Chains A and B, each alone.
Chain A
Amino acid sequence: MRRSILLASALVTTLALTACGTDDTGEAAADESAAADETTEPAGDGGTLTVWVDETRQDAVAAAAEAFESETGAEVELVLKPFEDIRADFIAQVPTGEGPDVTVGAHDWLGELITNGVVAPVELGDTAAEFEEVAVQAFTADGQVYGLPYAIENIALIRNTELADSAPATWDDAIAAGEDAGTKFPFLIQSDGENGDPYTYYPFQTSFGAPVFEQNADGSYTPELAMGGENGEAYAQWLADQGEAGNLTIDTTYDISVEAFANGESPFIVGGPWMLEQFADLDLAIDPVPAAGDEAAQPFVGVQGFYVSARSENALLANDFLVNFLSTEEAQTALFEAGGRPPALTAAADAASSDPIVAGFREVGADAVPMPSIPEMGSVWAFWGVTEAGIISGKAEPAEAWNKMISDIEGALGS
């Protein structure tokens, strides 16, 4: 036993020796920090701006950066990062002074970025009026704008025109049309198994008049839950009924439902522009999500944009880049072509709307509500989907489960 430990440690040591010579290890970390630090420092020749982008936006931002570079003499360094890593990395790295000057991001991060003090307000000035109202609203907290929006994304009803020739007005119409089509699924909504998918189901919930949080007059959310009560219970009952009837199932994950729709196994799917690539062979129409309750079915709108770091040493360059270069029609159109989401700039969105698909999503988005960006939303996600999935699969008593969810969320918010 002892001997084996000795042997192992000797082996490790030898390996270390041969692998790295007599290298020390402290430098790896130090190196990175040094490299990162150099980029945030204002350089003499017009300055260097560090921008975090993800793969889909890289080329479009690079194009805008080129215009910026040639006009101002500044240098823009794009750092490629996976989109899902950006949020946590930005919060962790900005306080150390090693974060970027500008990062791409989604509007629903805003609450978390603000409480952690890592994001700086951006004064859009007169350009604010040139953007779609919902886009600027989404990036606004407590009356301050914190980012430059560039794309709006929302879900809608995607219809295979060969299988259904007209847009269903209500949920029952949609199911009837789906059954007439004689396909494997009358209607497709993705779910994530037991975790549910409250984002995709949200338009049906709003059609029962049960929005997740109370909204202020200016459209911002308060941390008061609004999805309880009678309306919420009615929605829960609807989930249970449709689950029992087989119209809703939690087993159709994103991949499964997209593949089924692409194979013509359903005339309808609730989804966003990110699915369209797989539906290239189909004739599609984009319709509003049919209401299941008495009110309009409003999906969530997600807005993507660019944030400026609170610790940027190039705040001037960063704001200049955002407000004067990424807000132009060319830049927003380029971002649209790269990402496929309707642009946030009205002029660019108008141009992009020549495509009926884009116009369809945009039309649905006009009636949609921004996804709450308040930090309390995290606690809602933790219970919401699981409860919905439990009700749909028939495991849970609808009203009871729904009310337990409300009290659990309130407990989590209160703690």
Chain B
Amino acid sequence: MTDLQHPGAPRATVERPGPGAGSTLPPEPSRGRRVRPDESPARRLGPGFLAKLAMMAVVDAFGVYVVWSAWVAEAWVILGAMLAMLAVANWVYFSRRTVPLKYVLPGLIFLFTFQIFTIAYTGWVAFTNYGDGHNSTKDDAITALLAQNERRVEDSPSLPLTVVTDGDELGFAVVRPDGTTAAGSADTALAPVDATVDEGRITAVDGWEVLDRQEILERQGEVTTLRVPASEDPNDGSVRTQDARTGYLFTPALVYDEVADTMTDTTTGAVYAPNDEGQFEAADGSTLQVGWRVFIGFDNFTTAFSDSRYAGPFFQVVVWTFVFAFTSVATTFLLGMFLATAFNAPIRGRRVYRTLLILPYAIPGFVAPLLWSGLLNRSFGFVNQVLLGGAAVPWLTDPLLAKFSIIAVNLWLGFPYMFLICTGALQSLPTDVMEAAKIDGAGRLRTWRSVTLPLLLVSTTPLLISSFAFNFNNFALIYMLTGGGPRFADASVPLGHTDILITMVYAVAGLDGSAPKNFGLASALSIVIFVIIATISAIAFKRTRSLEEIN
């Protein structure tokens, strides 16, 4: 990798010396080697170039494979994006003018796929009604409705069936319950035919050719959509088959009129027309079950704040979210900093202590809360049974104690991180200011308060802000430890005392199964949360900069 790119950087400037370019360069290690200034390293046939060529060939081969797969899958967006990425990658790595991009491009592509695309997609979903009942396109909804409402004619017999063809058109040949045989196609109703019947099934039929299993499977789409009228009277229904072995008589209960874009119920005569919410609606306001995704503008954002049932709990949840995020950062930072300072002094076995202290950090963030929820169980948990000698402290079921438990568990989970960064920051503090403080006659405490702490804060504040943003959305902890409970006794929505905004979104949007899923609403609410965090972080970062200047 370095072989492939490193030589390119300095030598490109040798070739085209720009103003000041040479002076910023570090001393060139390969100056001793012979350099032909008229030749671009990007094109020189050296081992580096060959290695690059081989790697780009692999990348291109992979890219072409993706493009081909996307073509087959008719995924045009992926195809277009892939083509663009390939073009850019080839240009960047074979051009002489794109030295910085050679380093940045992979990162940029990661950023684009994992960040920008996700954000854009969330933004798009927030303006649709994607969710239960609006799961796909209108075409899919129509297909599903028609399929769900094609009903078997009551008490109609099952007909042993053979798939036949008259050259190009498919047809069905069936044995009726009375033993007579009949055949027909989509246009011609079933009519009696002479046929050979073997074990209750037709094996040969006059005027038609019997399809074998292989041919049927090759045309299975046609076979499953084929409807052969039972007679000239449409009320008798038509024969269809789902397995190419047995046919049944079906009549459609819903008919779609493509020109008028309406659904008609054949039994009641009600006509359903598409409405703005992506559903077929009748004149009396009743709708058909399956809808489709449509753009609904800002509806998700307004419903999120207009449901009166949520008004009270929402306020409590917001307050607790801020309290939780702030307290989490404060407690973990204070403990981490205290331990870091303590272990910064030379103590025997310091390394062992440090390693032990980092251990909680090594436990995955969604396993630890689960573990703790067991430990804190009121009747059988380790804490109550063993540590407190059989007390029945409702750690997770009392509103106040549950909040306390959450912060305590998060402290246990989070202090090693703060310990790590504080240890790192303490070790990199300049010794000269410490000495200056000593010379000035400052005591230990005074030195710590006036010199160490401000310097420590300069390097750790950005991490504190990101830690705040992380805890603001610390879904795993809440979900695994208390599930948001205990519930608000006075609220009419399934929210609890320890729910934070993100777990509230999870419940409100029905992602926990407590309501019909509404991905549009969930996306809209997460955008709102994003805006809150972005604002807080932006303000905090601005403050940090002033802190930096003071020091």
Contacts and interface: CB of A to CB of B under 8 A. Distances in A.
Interface string A51-80: 000000000000000000000111000000
A316 B223 CA distance: 8
B274 interface: no
B75 A18 contact: no
B82 A22 contact: no
Contacts of B81: 26
A21 B73 contact: no
A278 B300 CA distance: 48
Interface in A377-415: 378-379, 381-383, 386, 390, 395-396, 404, 407-408, 411-412, 415
Interface string A134-152: 0000000011100000000
Interface in B166-208: none
A382 B56 contact: no
A9 B73 contact: no
Given A251-B380, A311-B140, A415-B309, A9 B107 contact: yes
Contacts of A120: 147
A99 to B, nearest CB: 11
Contact of A46 (B82, B151, B213): B213
Contacts of B510: 378
A314 interface: yes
B38 interface: no
Contacts of A386: 485, 487, 494
B307 interface: yes
Interface in B99-113: 103-107, 109-110, 113
B79 to A, nearest CB: 8
Given A316-B223, A319-B242, A114 B289 contact: yes
A216 interface: no
Contact of B148 (A4, A26, A121, A251): A121
B516 A375 contact: yes
Interface residues of B, number: 91
B538 to A, nearest CB: 14
Contacts of A411: 309, 492
B302 interface: no
Interface stretch (A28-36, A160-168, A230-238, A364-372): A28-36
Interface residues of A, number: 85
Interface string B492-532: 11100000000000010010111110000000000000000
B188 to A, nearest CB: 22
A115 B248 CA distance: 25
Contacts of B245: 320, 324
A415 B308 CA distance: 11
Contacts, number: 237
A123 B242 contact: yes
A95 B136 contact: yes
A396 B397 CA distance: 14
A27 B82 contact: yes
A152 to B, nearest CB: 23
Contacts of A273: none
B217 A21 contact: no
Contact of A378 (B85, B289, B462, B513): B513
Given A117-B135, A122-B242, A26 B78 contact: yes
B89 to A, nearest CB: 6
Nearest to B462: A1
Contacts of B14: none
A7 interface: no
A339 interface: no
A316 B110 contact: no
Contact of A17 (B103, B137, B151): B103
B243 A324 contact: yes
B145 interface: yes
Nearest to A32: B69
A16 interface: yes
Contact of B514 (A126, A310, A316, A381): A381
15 contacts: A17-B103, A22-B105, A24-B109, A27-B66, A37-B69, A42-B218, A249-B379, A310-B143, A316-B217, A316-B243, A317-B220, A375-B516, A379-B514, A379-B515, A386-B485
Given A24-B63, A144-B151, A316-B242, 13 more contacts: A22-B59, A22-B93, A26-B82, A46-B213, A112-B516, A116-B132, A120-B147, A126-B158, A251-B378, A251-B380, A253-B377, A310-B143, A317-B220
